[in-house]
Every structure is written in structure tokens, then in C-alpha cells.
Amino acid sequence: MESVSTEQVADFRRFHRYFTRRIGALNDHYLGQDRPLGEARLLFEIAEHDGPDGVLLRELRSRLGLDAGYLSRMTKTLERQGMVRLSVHPHDSRLRTVRLTPAGRVEVTEQNRRADSLAAGVLAGLDTGRRARLCEAMATVRRLLRLAAITVEHVDGHAPDARACLDAYADELDVRFPEGFDRTDLVGPDEVSGEAGAFFVAYEEGRPVGCGALRRQAAGTGEIRHVWVHPDARRLGLARRVLDALEVEALRRDWTVVRLDTHAALTEAQAMYRACGYTEIPAYAEHVYADHWFEKRLGR
Amino acid sequence: MESVSTEQVADFRRFHRYFTRRIGALNDHYLGQDRPLGEARLLFEIAEHDGPDGVLLRELRSRLGLDAGYLSRMTKTLERQGMVRLSVHPHDSRLRTVRLTPAGRVEVTEQNRRADSLAAGVLAGLDTGRRARLCEAMATVRRLLRLAAITVEHVDGHAPDARACLDAYADELDVRFPEGFDRTDLVGPDEVSGEAGAFFVAYEEGRPVGCGALRRQAAGTGEIRHVWVHPDARRLGLARRVLDALEVEALRRDWTVVRLDTHAALTEAQAMYRACGYTEIPAYAEHVYADHWFEKRLGR
DNA sequence: CATGGTCTTTGACCTTAGTCAAAGGATCGC
DNA sequence: GCGATCCTTTGACTAAGGTCAAAGACCATG
């Protein structure tokens, strides 16, 4: 981890202060003008995750980090105001689900309208060119902050998170490959555990958002497979982070060469491998879904 | 005012949500761990503006937007904790000034250390290149948000804010011009009021941060003078905004030509005038501090 | 069907944040 | 020197935000 310059820390804090002071305060103010801030936030959160069966109280609690009693009272208040309806969960009557009523939906729409006009009001102070630059810079900041918060962790090949990622990966390939994708092609849990290999999962705020597998392919040679990033986490540069982790792990095991293959449909992957120092080689193994083969020599 | 696209509004809100959720919450949490958030903020604000005579309570009140009674009680609490000392203002005993004690300084340093390590922790999740890009994008966002919040207003030439700006302007020129600057060269209040001319002041959060004067120079011709931006508000593109306001005002009066002169020492001003469509002309009047003369024909 | 564990509700309580108005001391303008 | 005004302090109050623990309803398990 390279050391962070004090100048950059100061930049960061300057930005943070300015932003929370200027925009954060404004936002809280408009949000809280009809009802207490906590209630407004809760309503918002309910709207955000209002599925077919409503939202679980339990989920709201963990999401907003609220005390059970406090939450219970706030939802009761919202129910009295006609914004939401509480009901017992159909399969487990210890649980409560909460969902917006039509009146609640109107209220949330109104909240959103206000937030929109707050944002529009700020943006309106700029000409078109600067406005576009502002939006772009905001997108950059958000992208990089997200990336900074994602950690790539070594997990056991049997871990539920690992298998969940591979499932999502397989679903996606099944759609993207013209010939579909057969899940038996996935690495087994044992192939990426212990001596045989390794599995990495990328986490963003506790949620798995990417993965990558490494397995022994020959003496001193590893094979990289199933490098995948959740659609919500793409274009952050996360695949490279996963690849880095896999390469570091390979080196740790004295596997000085890593190989991988890729399907013609995954053009963006090929570009990334090339950019990361992989060079195309002849087929090193038979594989149904492989059209291109790459190799990289590790270590300095 | 050009209309703001809904896509941009959505970008803005996405950014806002992400930032306040991820960074804002963290910050409040660490800030408030030893004492109530309000108190921590107050202490911070006192430290920030701790001059040779301390800070005026009145100033803190307006800066933090607090109720007089509330502030009075909070400072008392901080005094009891030994963080600050209250004293009566030497020249006006209605006023109170407050200043940090050594113990208070230690406390603030500790707070700062924690905020720094929070920032460093976030930045440490990125490699050098991305970290630099993050800081740059943050600086851009901050610059543009500031600019968006600044308004340029038409004020009377006698207004205290107008004269305050001209004073600051004169002080600066006195330093920058090798021959010094004589304040009698400034436009008089009447020259930039009513029919004779106009004066604009740029405000950032209520504080004047720039100005510009327009006065009748000949039939159908205006002269622009004293375009100035406070050092804290430079490099935002504010001078152009002031210039725009002056030109719009000139056109409103059917003055289709505006002229101005500038001193050789103000090289950045000359570049700006050229970039804004001004062309150099021969001297149109005698003027002690003028080395270059510019003109622009207004209207479409 | 008893037992331990999971959720939610309720009651009791506390701190923080903030408002309002009255009062008191000081200054300013006339 | 008087009244208006300014700034701070104090008292009285309120709402919001949050914590803790006990109780109640329910589920899963042996």
C-alpha cells in the first residue's frame, strides 16, 4: 500500500467539508420539512426496496442501522399517517413486512420531486459546458470512491459467496454465448481450494460483486478462470483488481506462468487481458467455450 | 437559464446519495464519538477561526446558524470541560470572545488526526494514479459547486458591500503595482449608480467575493472598471461571470460598446479580456494606471 | 411438547438539538 | 442623558433520536 500524501488527505477533507456543509445540509433540510428526518429516510428506504411482498422490517433495521424498538415505533407512526401498511409475513409470522400505500407512494414521489428540484437548482447555476463537466467529475469521484471501498478477499472454494458468484457468472454466460453455457464447465469447489487452487471474491459493503478462480494447470503454471464482475460494479476497474489478486496468489505459490482462455463473445475481456500484459498463445488445452488463449509470465 | 436534463439531475442525486451515505455518515460518527456532534462542530469552528483575539460568539452564531441561547449553553459546556475560555471583548463589552485553551488545542488536534486517518483510509484503497485522479475530480466538483452557488447582483454604488470590495481591490493593487495605487482613482459611488452607471457584487454564501463597475463613458459607450475577484474565489471562472453581468447591463442601457483599460502588471486580466472577445485599441483616455486599452462591440 | 432462539412490541428512560421569550448589561445616536 | 438597539444569558419547554430490557408471539429442533 503506497503512502498517502498529506496534500491529498487535505484535498479529500476540503471536499468532504464543503460538500456536506453545502449540499448535505440543504438536503436534510428539505427532506425533513414535513416529517422528522428519521421518518423521511425510513419512508424513502421502504420505497426503494418495495418488492412484491413489501420489505422486511428486519432488513430495514440492518440497512438503516436502527434499534428494533425505535424502528417499530417509526413504522407505526407511518402506518397511522396512512403512508404504509404493516403485515405479517406469510411464511414466518414472527416477521413483519411493510409496504407503501398509494398515499405513501404519492408522498415519496413528492419527496423525489423536491430532491430533483434541489439538484436542478444547483445545476442551473452553471452553463451547459460546466454542468457537463460537473456531472462527469461527480461520476469519476463516485466510481473511484466505490472502487476504493471494494475489497478482494481470498475465500474457500466451498464458500456460499463463491458459489453464488459462479452461479451469477454462469447465468450471464448462458445469455451471452450463442450456444448457451453448461454449468458443469464451472470449476468444482475442490479445484480452487487448498493446494489445488484459490478463489477470490470482491466485496462491496458486504455484498459479493465479483470473483476469480486460480487453479494448478501444470508444474509451476496456474490457470485463471471465471473472472467475473457484477453488472452493477462494472467500469470501475474491478476486474483488474481481481486479476492482480490472482496473480499475487499464483506468485506466492511459485507458479510463475499463468494462462487463461476466453470466448469470442467476451471482447472486452480480451482487451483487458492484453492491457494487463497477457499475450495470445496457441491453445494449451481443449475447451468447449475457448476461442483465444493467453499467457503471462509473472515476477520481475 | 438553460434547462437541466433529467439525466444530469439523476447523476447529481446518485452522487449525493452515495457520498453522504458512505462518507458523511462515517465522518459524523467519528466526530461525535467523544462529545455531542453539535459541540464537536462548535469546537472545530472555534479552532478554525481562532485569531489573536479569539472568535466572536456572534460570528460563530451566524457561521453555524445556531440559536443564541443554544450557542451560549454549548460554549459554557466547553468552558466547563476546559476546552475554551470565554472573555469579554476589550472594545465592546456586549460581545464575548472565545478562544481555545491548550487542552482544547490538543483535543482539536486529536479530532483532526482522526479525520485525517479516515480520509487516508479511503484513499489507501486506490493506487497512485487513481488516487490522483480522485483528488483532481474532487477539486473539479468543488470548484464547480462553488461557482454554481455564487450569484452576481446589481447593487447601489453606495452599498457597504460595494465599497468593501473596492477597498480590498485597492489594497491589492497597491501591492501589485510597482508604483503603488492611489485610492482616489476608484470610481465614486455616484459614478456607478442610477443613470451614470452600475455596480455588481458577487456573493458566495452571503459574503462579497468579487465586483465590477460599469459607467457611462460616452454616448452609447460604457466603461468597465474595477473587475476584481477575492483571492479565495479565484480560478473558478468568476471574473467572466462578473464581466457577463456588466455586459448585459450595458446592453440593457443600449450602450453597444464597452471599453476598459488595464495595467501591465495584471497579465492574467489581459488574457481573460482577449478570451472574452475584447480587442486591443489605442488609448481612449488618459489614465495613470493604464498600459493597455480594450474594446468590445456588444449585441448580436 | 418443552426448549432455546428469533423477531417484534411495549414501557421507561435519557441525551441531544433546538425554540422562544424575558431579562440584563452595554453601546450608539441624538 | 434617554431611548432604541445590540448581544448574551437564563429559564422553560418541546421534539427528535436513541437505548435498554422485559414481554409476547412464533418457529425449529430433539
- Give the β-pairing of B221-229 and B257-262: parallel
CA–CA dist A1, A11 (Å, integer): 19
Supply the CATH classification number for the domain A6-148.
1.10.10.10
Nearest C-alpha in B relative to A132: B8
A14 neighbors B142 (Cβ within 8 angstroms): yes
Cell of B78: 466547553
List, edge to edge, every strand of the sheet that includes A257-262: A151-155, A197-204, A207-218, A221-229, A257-262, A292-297, A279-281
What pLDDT is stored for residue B32 in this prediction? 65
Supply the CATH classification number for the domain B150-297.
3.40.630.30
Tens-of-pLDDT digits for all 300 residues of chain A? 457 889 999 999 999 888 888 887 777 777 767 899 999 999 999 999 988 889 999 999 999 999 999 999 999 999 999 999 999 999 999 999 999 999 999 999 998 998 898 899 999 999 999 999 999 999 999 999 999 999 999 999 998 899 999 999 999 999 999 999 999 999 999 999 999 999 999 999 888 999 999 999 999 999 999 999 999 999 999 999 999 999 999 999 999 999 999 999 999 899 999 999 999 999 998 888 999 999 999 986
- Interatomic CA–C1' length for residue B90 and nucleotide C27, angstroms: 13
From A123's Cα to the closest Cα of chain B, the distance in A is: 7
CA–CA dist B145, B165 (Å, integer): 23
Taking only the tens place, the pLDDT of each residue in B33-54 is 789 999 999 999 999 998 888 9
Q: Comparing C-alpha atoms, which of A291, A270, A278, A203 is closest to residue A242?
A: A203
CA–CA dist B212, B15 (Å, integer): 35
What pLDDT is stored for residue A160 in this prediction? 87
With residue A221 as reference, give the H or E element that holds it: strand A221-229
Taking only the tens place, the pLDDT of each residue in B52-82 is 889 999 999 999 999 999 999 999 999 999 9
Per the prediction, chain B carries an average pLDDT of 92
What pLDDT is stored for residue A32 in this prediction? 66
The residue with greater pLDDT, B274 or B286, is B274
For B127, other C-beta atoms within 10 Å of its C-beta total 14
B212 neighbors B245 (Cβ within 8 angstroms): yes
A-chain residues near B127 (CB < 8 A): 2
Q: In this model, does residue B176 exceed pLDDT 90? A: yes
From A187's Cα to the closest Cα of chain B, the distance in A is: 30
What pLDDT is stored for residue A51 in this prediction? 83
What pLDDT is stored for residue A30 in this prediction? 74
- Burial pattern B68-83, b for ≥16 Cβ within 10 A else e, equals eeebeebbebbeeeeb
What pLDDT is stored for residue A2 in this prediction? 57
Instruction: Give residue B300's pLDDT band: very low, low, confident or very high (50, 70, 90).
Output: low
Q: Which CATH number fits domain A149-297: 3.40.109.10, 3.40.630.30, 3.20.20.70, 3.40.50.300?
A: 3.40.630.30
From A143's Cα to the closest Cα of chain B, the distance in A is: 9
Cell of B88: 469579554
In chain B, CATH 1.10.10.10 sits at 6-148
Cell of A21: 456543509
- Interatomic CA–C1' length for residue B36 and nucleotide C15, angstroms: 9
Instruction: Give residue B286's pLDDT band: very low, low, confident or very high (50, 70, 90).
Output: confident
- Sign (positive/negative) of CA torsion A18, A20, A21, A24? positive
What pLDDT is stored for residue B20 in this prediction? 83
Q: In this model, does residue B280 exceed pLDDT 90? A: yes
Q: List Cβ neighbours of B175 (8 Å cut-off, separation of 6 or more).
A: none
A223 neighbors A217 (Cβ within 8 angstroms): yes
Phi-psi region of B34 (alpha: psi -120 to 50; beta: other; left: phi over 0): alpha
Instruction: Give residue B27's pLDDT band: very low, low, confident or very high (50, 70, 90).
Output: confident
Instruction: Give residue B2's pLDDT band: very low, low, confident or very high (50, 70, 90).
Output: low
Q: Comparing C-alpha atoms, which of A197, A178, A180, A181 is closest to residue A189?
A: A197
Q: Which ranges constitute the DSSP H helices of B57-207?
A: 57-64, 68-80, 102-123, 128-149, 160-176
In chain A, CATH 3.40.630.30 sits at 149-297
Q: In this model, does residue B1 exceed pLDDT 70? A: no
- Interatomic CA–C1' length for residue A155 and nucleotide D28, angstroms: 30
A246 neighbors A212 (Cβ within 8 angstroms): yes
Residue of A124, A127, A148 with shortest CB distance to B122 = A148
Cell of A269: 475481456
